[in-house]
Each structure stands twice: as structure tokens, then as C-alpha cells.
Amino acid sequence: MEWRDEGIILGVRRHGETSAIVEVMTRGHGRHLGLVRGGRSRRQQPVLQPGNRVELAWRARLDEHLGQFAVEPLDLIAGRLMESACAIHGVQTLAAHLRLIPERDPHPRLFETLALVLDHLAEPLSGAELVARFELMVLDELGFGLDLAECAATGGRADLAYVSPKTGRAVSRLAGEPWADRLLPLPAFLDFAAGRRADANSVVDAFRLTGHFLTRHVWGARGVEEPETRRSYIASVVRSTSRGDAAA
């Protein structure tokens, strides 16, 4: 068995004295693991860092085997990401979300979006906007997508301000006002048509929204907790924006 594909490094763990087991997100083969012989060498270690984009050749005798990767660098951005606390926690958070997807299950939309998010992680607000959208996409890919296009009560598309915590459907400001304390805020930046940008408060609201449905449908159903890296990422974004920094 053999294939070639592009991949983004998610994680690496030691295997023996000189090798490493590498976890990647690929365009056509989903999240995939493979053995890299000599992966702990001085030549390979800079390549096998989370966030780096690589060219992969995978080989195994049988499809169900772990197999071996041959890895060549394409875009080595890990060094830049390591300069920002937001980016470090962000990479770890994205990897944790992708581990919710079954291994070797192709999700090309997630791969393409992952590459886009990584390019902006060092910019706290821009990165946070994209991470929140990525979480919505993960929910959608797992079959729990939210309906944020129109009001559940009126069918209108204007002034959507809330989301029902039960149905995951948007509600307009006027229709939802009597039950505002029971509804989740819908940040305006999640509506592409609105053309709004995020601020620290709307980012927190966005992660509260996605976190609610990840807990309800994914983490809780699997008996796991919210990743600590996600909490750290949100805290880093809030700290950096409250200081007015360009990066964490």
C-alpha cells in the first residue's frame, strides 16, 4: 500500500531511540499516523514540528498497518508560531479538535481551513475568529452543525442575535428578547454577510457558543472534558487583546 499527499503536522511522539510516530492532517487521507525512521535526528526534528506543512509518502504492507512516512518540508511555519503564546495554544487546540474526527476519515474542508487558521494564529483576534469558525466546522463535519442562517421563529435573516441552546438555531433580536437570558449570544462576526470584526467580548461569546455544543454533542457524549489547551488559548487571546498587543 502506498500514497502521496500534503499534510500538516499535528503532533509527534518518540518511538525507540531514533524514530518518531508522527500525526498529520492530510488533504485526502484525513488524520493519519505513521512512523518516521530517524525522526529524532537533527535534520528531521525541525521539519516534524506542529503546524508545519509537509509532503508525505506513506507505505505499508497492509492498509490497516501503522506504516511509514517519508517527509519533505513545504512550509515550515512552526518557528514563527512558537514566538506567540496564542499561536502555541492555538495549534494544540486545533489538533485536539481534529482528534475528535475518526482517524483516516477524509475531511478536505477541515484541512484547507486548518492551513488558513495557522497562517493567522499569531494575530490574536484574527486567529480567534478563525478558530471559532473552525469549531463550527468541526461540529458540522461531525453531524451537529448549527443553523445560523435564519431566525428559527420568523424565518428572517436580519439582526440575528441569539442561538437556542437546545436546537442550535439562530433567533433574531426581536423574537428572542423575551427569552434573552435563556439564549446564547450570537456574535455578529460569525455572520459573513454582516461584515463585522471580532473584539475580545465577541470572541468570548463565540467560544461560549461553540463550547456549549461541543460539550453537549461531542465531549459530554464521549465522557471527556474540554481540552485544557482550549482554555489556555482563550485566556491567551483575552490577555493579549486586553493589553492591546499585536500578538500574545
User: Consecutive 10-residue runs of the chain (248 residues): their mean pLDDT?
Assistant: 97 96 98 97 96 98 95 96 95 98 97 97 95 98 96 94 97 96 96 76 96 98 96 95 56
* pLDDT score, position 191: 79
pLDDT score at 245 = 47
Closest by CA to 143, choosing from 218, 219, 224, is 218
Specify the 3-state DSSP secondary structure of 188. Answer: helix
- The pLDDT score that the predictor gives to residue 243 is 64
Question: How does DSSP classify residue 148?
Answer: -
Contact present, 95 and 89 (Cβ < 8 Å): no
Residue 122: predicted pLDDT: 92
CA distance 110 to 213: 18
pLDDT given for residue 194 in this prediction: 63
- Interatomic CA distance for residues 238 and 234, integer angstroms: 6
Residue 127's DSSP bridge partners are none
What residue ranges define each of the domains in the chain, with the CATH number in brackets?
2-76 (2.40.50.140), 81-148+186-243 (no CATH)
